[in-house]
Structure 1
Amino acid sequence: MVEQNATGEATHFAYDERGWMHKRTNARGQETHYRYDAVGQLIEQKDEVSTVRREYDTDGNLVTVQEEGAGTKHREYDLLGRVTACTDSYGNTIRYRYDENSQLTQTQLIYPDGKVVQYTYDVAGQLTEVKDWAGRRTTYTYDENGRLIKTVRPNGTIEHRSYDAAGQMLRLWDQNRQGVMLQKFSYVYNELGQVVQEEEKQYTYDALKRLVSGEWPGGRVWYSYDKGGNVTGIGTVETAPKKAMGYGKDNRLSHVNEQPVEMDADGNLLVWTENEQTHTYAYDARNRLVRTGQAHYTYDAEFVRTSMTWKGKTTRYVVDQEAVFSRVLMELGEDGSPKAYYVYGQGLIGREDAQGNYLSYHMDMRGSTTMLSDWSGRVTDRYSYGVYGELEQHDGTISQPFCYNGRDGVMTDPNGLYYMRARYYHPGLKRFLNRDILPGDVTEGQTFNRFAYVNGDPVGFIDPLGLAGLGTDDCPKRNKKSRKRFNFDKARKEGIKKIEEKYGGVIEDVTNRRTTLNPKDIKFMQSTISNQTGDYTVLNNANTFSKNPSKILELNPIRVWQDGTGNIWTLDHRRLGASRLAKLDEIPVQWASKAEVYKEAWKFSTEVEGKSVVLLLGKDLSQTIR
């Protein structure tokens, strides 16, 4: 199989007789080799960087990841498949504690040196309190629709939020414990749910929903785009762009202010020049940035950044990977000594330095840090940003990495790059340094530009994962519905309760057997599924199975389980959906363990007893699979 881009560079994939990829050759000619165990679990990956080996327990949980020259990561699990401990490649262990009944009333996060952060939830699964090792408490209050309206920080400062009937944030303001206003924001939206006014700033957009101008008292900036969504010009007056950029095929940057740009065959930015200053970048065979200027970066086998060296000084990171967004819990010196601790609740809330000094974070709607305040509530630092995230001003002396979109873990490096987990964003170029690993969405043409930042709307969208634009927690998406982060723990709790109370639990005497079943005899746990996952779609698979039913034998068996009332359910909804659409009479299945079912119990959302599932096709189109 070959994937070829618009410039002609090709990535080659080779598969074995089981349909499992055993070799990938990137456009630079670098090979990666893969090995699997008997059930299709990846156990070895070998490339020019190193060899990575993986081990699993009997429930299929990833237990060990060992990388030559980079150490070993280890995870421990409970009977419900929840991670209870994770040890990183430096030997730092993060521990997780849940209550006995899997009820989301109280959980604990234990840092490597024993510091404990305790989380308390209400009966609806909403986080209501965070208490750290020093007894510092952050509390949250929600309205009847589950929207956050009040946050009380440990130093007594309070954040308030208000919304309109559509769930769009209207106001956000902070006060100290005496009631003095520290900051305030108000928001006005257009009919598409885009922010057109933010305090004194005015924003305008083009027909493709891209930001074209921002204006405020004493200032103005405008942006121009090509058809592919690339920023071609940036200026402050209509006739004099202060930066002009050009592009070649596949949306690759070709020049900046008439200075040529170099990119490699994989689409990684290598060299560009501005104001007689040349910027260079180096990547490994996994397309990870490893060096630029005086910055050097290291990563573990799971692509988590583990250290940054800046001007010869190294900072190591202790990262909690089990959260929805991975988060840095500690910064360590090269000798392993703590430099800073970070506390999280509804995003980042506080920082304690090595001397025990604690600072609270204050954010705007996009989760960008606007202020830091000390234990007395006094503001120590203030931050302001350009429309596309440029750090324009920092008043204060605190050096810390969580600035633009810092609430959600985006890190600001000393060189001005923003680390967004999967890759780095350059606010000056208004684009990422390399291509998105995800393909575009046919329902959103601008997403086919795999370098563009949030499809040209940095006012209403963020991208903390470096993969796709997300609506801010309370900023509506373009369909005018507010985006609410999915609470996996709450959904898993509710799913387990439904399985046990309504369906009599999971029958385990059939665990791990392989057999065949008629897909019509298998129920759907989920109420909806998306058509596309990675490079595959349910409809394309259904078409393939319909033409050649034996093709399903090339895939892993569909995982199923039986409840106490005799119903059989699936954990693999897209393949079951494709099998139903193809009208197959028989498909290979493997019975899942109880731990495996409870681990994925968050999927149990069916409202029709599993008889059907709604296939989401995009642009408000859907199809019911029965």
Structure 2
Amino acid sequence: MTRRTYADGRVVDTTYTADGQVAEERETLGATVRSTTRTYDAAGRLASIAYPDAIRLDFQYDAAGNRTAVTTTTASGDATVTYAYDELNRMAAVARGAEVHQYAYDAAGQLTRLTRPNSTSTDYGYDVRVRAASLADRGPGGAALWQVQYGTDASGRRTSAQESGPGWFRTLSYQYDPLGRLVQETLTDGAPSGQRVSTWSYDAVGNRLVEDVRRGTSVARVDSTYDDNDRLLGETGTGPAVTYSYDAAGQLLARTDGAGTSTFSYDAAHRLVAATTPTTSVAYSYDPDGLRQSQTVDGVTTRFVTDPTFEHAQVIAEVAADGSETHYTYGLTRLARHRGGASAYLHSDALGSLRAATSSAGTLAERWNYHAFGTVDSHVDDAGQAVPLTGADAHSFLFAGEQYSPSLNLYYLRARHYAPAIGRFTQADTYRGRDREPLTLHRYGYAHGDPITGRDPSGMTTLNETSAVELTISNVVSVARTTKNLIAAVKAARIASRGISQIVSGTNRDMLGQAMRYVQALEGTAAERADLFSQLAQQISSLSGGSWSAVRIFGADGSHIFADTFGESLVVSRAGELFRGSLATPGHFTIGPGGVLQPVCSALRVVGGVL
């Protein structure tokens, strides 16, 4: 595909390198032309991205294909993060200047400790099924900062969390219905008013009918109504009534409550581009890949610099309207925020939610607690005093590690926005689900109704965090090398049939993060798997052209990835090995009988009917 034309008049022209990789994307809207260019190294790995506003990303790799450095260039200069790996290609250290984070693993390859530059550390514990069982954050002298013990049922659902820190404790218990949807959260924290008990009930298709939150004599109840397309129409209860309206595509257009009306607008690619509330106006812009590029709140713009090479693209820098910059260091997770000459070190729970930030001296600066579906319960400083979620120094990446907009009370999950107050997305999923997996049929649901053990970083696919060994991309790449013949000779070219218009190579570094999404959500019968592999094999056999290490498949409109896959026609007969679990989704696999690695999946999420 060389040109995309949108209903709003926007035109995106794409040019390619000789071996078929994207070289330039030129976006034209009226008299405005914006060009983003990419270069690649001799191995076909992404070497640089240059954006139209002179911001640039450069990448370096070692001989094994591990990414060893990322340099962000902005008006203020260069900021480089470097990576080191052990003999098994597991990430061992992450450095930004003199600030070094270090990882340690046990004999089974499980992450056991993270040590930060400020001498704080996190120890990770696992149960007998290698699921997250504990986290313990300690200060420079070994004193406890924050710790949690998790309980998990046989299905992998988190049933309890016992949290504590200096001067405080929280015990949470969770109950689920037979479909695995959260129906009760009980919080015990020593408050004089007693326990807080939150309950939820659902209709036959998964819409939340009632939310009831009780603590002592306090009762907060919300009753919700829906139309035949599962769109939330109204809320009544102990608070002001709320009404909602939508466009024909199922996108939220307006929300009206006692404070007034909030409105939402979308572009031709179904991305939220503007919103107004009774007190605030917000606008968003996106790059040609569909990733959020800027946010303007009441006329003040922040530019987001996004690294697209992660499994899910991540913001690695922010440039404010006044020119000040914020940079983030990433390792296996988001590790630190650097702003105004000061570093804040980030401490997350097993779901990825930000729970604490420590200073360069290793002292606790802030901590966060959350209600089940992501609403912030409390945000306090080291003295236990409440801190607002807004302000010049506020943290943006909160529940499940995702980017939060306090102006709209929404989380940006790339393809869509999530509203924690109602526990659902504001737009319908483009994937219509499978009859044999009823939970996938709900197009607004978040994490299949289980926000305690599931998350949806893409806005399209639920990932279960506690039913998997939480390893790293580098762990999985090291496993992949045992079957490198499956990958080494991938043939790729454009495919005109079945709605697939373009295939773009990935890199060794995110080989599985990108390619294995095709198998990420495999579960069910052997027949289903065989059918899927048959379709995959047909596509593999039709490939021709340059030899790449991985492929990424885009949809006919080129606006987003429909699915990713890899393979080689010479190994089509090895379908059983591929789908029985010799490889798995990065960071999400379990140890099966005989020590075989098995994928942990929830639903086949090939969006747009490509397959």
Indicate which of 398, 401, 415 corresponds to 1:403.
Answer: 398
- 2:184 paired with 1:213: yes
Checking the alignment, whether the CA contact within 8 Å between 2:463 and 2:601 is kept in structure 1 is no
What are the equivalent positions in structure 2 for 1:231-242 lying under 5 Å apart?
Answer: 231-237=208-214, 242=221
Displacement, 1:70? Answer: 5.9
- Residues 1:490 and 1:274: Cα distance change in structure 2 (over 3 Å): same
- 2:349 paired with 1:364: yes
Checking the alignment, whether the CA contact within 8 Å between 2:537 and 2:572 is kept in structure 1 is no
Letter aligned with residue 428 of structure 2: R
Indicate which of 131, 134, 152 corresponds to 1:168.
Answer: 131
Indicate which of 23, 46, 54 corresponds to 2:14.
Answer: 54
Alignment match, 1:462: 455
Distance 1:153 1:312 in 2: 37
Letter aligned with residue 288 of structure 1: R
Alignment match, 2:444: 451
Q: Is the deviation greater in 458-467 or in 139-148?
A: 139-148
Displacement, 1:292? Answer: 1.5
- 2:69 paired with 1:108: yes
- 2:269 paired with 1:286: yes
Displacement, 1:468? Answer: 1.5
- 2:86 paired with 1:122: yes
Residues 330-360 of structure 1 deviation map (CA, whole Å, 9 limit, x = unaligned): 110236x24211110011000111x310110
Checking the alignment, whether the CA contact within 8 Å between 1:160 and 1:172 is kept in structure 2 is yes
Distance 2:420 2:490 in 1: 53
Distance 2:520 2:115 in 1: 41
Letter aligned with residue 131 of structure 1: A
Checking the alignment, whether the CA contact within 8 Å between 2:550 and 2:566 is kept in structure 1 is no
Distance 2:419 2:603 in 1: 35
Distance 1:47 1:85 in 2: 31
TM superposition score normalised by structure 1: 0.74
Letter aligned with residue 378 of structure 1: T
Displacement, 1:458? Answer: 0.4
Letter aligned with residue 54 of structure 1: T
Alignment match, 1:342: 328
Q: Is the deviation greater in 612-621 or in 267-276?
A: 612-621
Checking the alignment, whether the CA contact within 8 Å between 2:196 and 2:214 is kept in structure 1 is no
- Residues 1:102 and 1:220: Cα distance change in structure 2 (over 3 Å): same
Displacement, 1:603? Answer: 7.3
What are the equivalent positions in structure 2 for 1:402-421 lying under 5 Å apart?
Answer: 402-406=397-401, 409-421=402-414
SS state of the match for residue 250, structure 1? coil
SS state of the match for residue 261, structure 1? strand
Residues 268-306 of structure 1 deviation map (CA, whole Å, 9 limit, x = unaligned): 011122334422211122211111222111111211111
Displacement, 1:431? Answer: 0.7
Alignment match, 1:319: 306
Letter aligned with residue 320 of structure 2: G
Letter aligned with residue 257 of structure 2: E
Distance 2:104 2:118 in 1: 17
Alignment match, 1:613: 575
Alignment match, 1:250: 229
SS state of the match for residue 399, structure 2? coil
Letter aligned with residue 247 of structure 1: Y
What are the equivalent positions in structure 2 for 1:528-607 lying under 5 Å apart?
Answer: 575=535, 577-578=537-538, 589=542, 591-594=544-547, 596-597=548-549
Displacement, 1:485? Answer: 5.5
Displacement, 1:365? Answer: 1.2
SS state of the match for residue 345, structure 2? strand
SS state of the match for residue 64, structure 1? strand
Residues 111-135 of structure 1 deviation map (CA, whole Å, 9 limit, x = unaligned): 1132211101112221110011x21
Q: Is the deviation greater in 489-498 or in 47-56?
A: 489-498
- Compute the RMSD of aligned alpha carbons: 3.8
Alignment match, 1:433: 426
Alignment match, 1:391: 376
What are the equivalent positions in structure 2 for 1:143-222 lying under 5 Å apart?
Answer: 143-199=106-162, 200-217=171-188, 218-222=195-199
Alignment match, 1:330: 317
Letter aligned with residue 378 of structure 2: Q
Higher relative contact order by CA 8 Å / sep ≥ 6: 1 or 2? Answer: 2
- Residues 1:445 and 1:374: Cα distance change in structure 2 (over 3 Å): same
TM superposition score normalised by structure 2: 0.75
User: How many aligned positions are there?
Assistant: 512
Distance 1:219 1:320 in 2: 40
Checking the alignment, whether the CA contact within 8 Å between 1:248 and 1:254 is kept in structure 2 is yes
Distance 2:475 2:105 in 1: 19
Distance 2:24 2:521 in 1: 26
Letter aligned with residue 109 of structure 1: V
Alignment match, 1:559: none
Checking the alignment, whether the CA contact within 8 Å between 2:433 and 2:441 is kept in structure 1 is yes
Residues 460-494 of structure 1 deviation map (CA, whole Å, 9 limit, x = unaligned): 0111111121122xx11xxxx54655559826982
Distance 1:376 1:205 in 2: 42
Displacement, 1:91? Answer: 2.4
What are the equivalent positions in structure 2 for 1:222-237 lying under 5 Å apart?
Answer: 222-237=199-214
- Residues 1:89 and 1:392: Cα distance change in structure 2 (over 3 Å): farther
Displacement, 1:198? Answer: 0.8
Letter aligned with residue 453 of structure 1: Y
Alignment match, 1:380: 365
SS state of the match for residue 436, structure 1? coil
Residues 84-120 of structure 1 deviation map (CA, whole Å, 9 limit, x = unaligned): 0011232211000112x3453x611111132211101
Residues 230-269 of structure 1 deviation map (CA, whole Å, 9 limit, x = unaligned): 1111112499662111111121112122543211100001
Checking the alignment, whether the CA contact within 8 Å between 2:111 and 2:471 is kept in structure 1 is no
Letter aligned with residue 189 of structure 1: T
SS state of the match for residue 174, structure 1? strand
Distance 1:127 1:497 in 2: 20
- Residues 1:206 and 1:621: Cα distance change in structure 2 (over 3 Å): closer
Indicate which of 261, 285, 288 corresponds to 2:244.
Answer: 261
Distance 1:507 1:529 in 2: 16
- 2:55 paired with 1:92: yes
Letter aligned with residue 323 of structure 1: F
Letter aligned with residue 397 of structure 2: F
Alignment match, 1:296: 283
Distance 1:128 1:114 in 2: 24
Checking the alignment, whether the CA contact within 8 Å between 1:256 and 1:273 is kept in structure 2 is no
Displacement, 1:47? Answer: 2.5
Same amino acid, percent of matched pairs: 25
Indicate which of 490, 502, 505 corresponds to 2:477.
Answer: 490
Instruction: Flag structure 2 segments of 5+ consecutive residues without an equivalent.
Output: 163-170, 189-194, 382-386, 388-392, 496-510, 553-563, 581-599, 605-611
Checking the alignment, whether the CA contact within 8 Å between 1:86 and 1:95 is kept in structure 2 is yes
Letter aligned with residue 74 of structure 1: T
Displacement, 1:207? Answer: 0.8
- 2:83 paired with 1:83: no
Residues 23-69 of structure 1 deviation map (CA, whole Å, 9 limit, x = unaligned): xxxxxxxxxxxxxxxxxx34333331511111111111011111113
- Residues 1:131 and 1:210: Cα distance change in structure 2 (over 3 Å): same
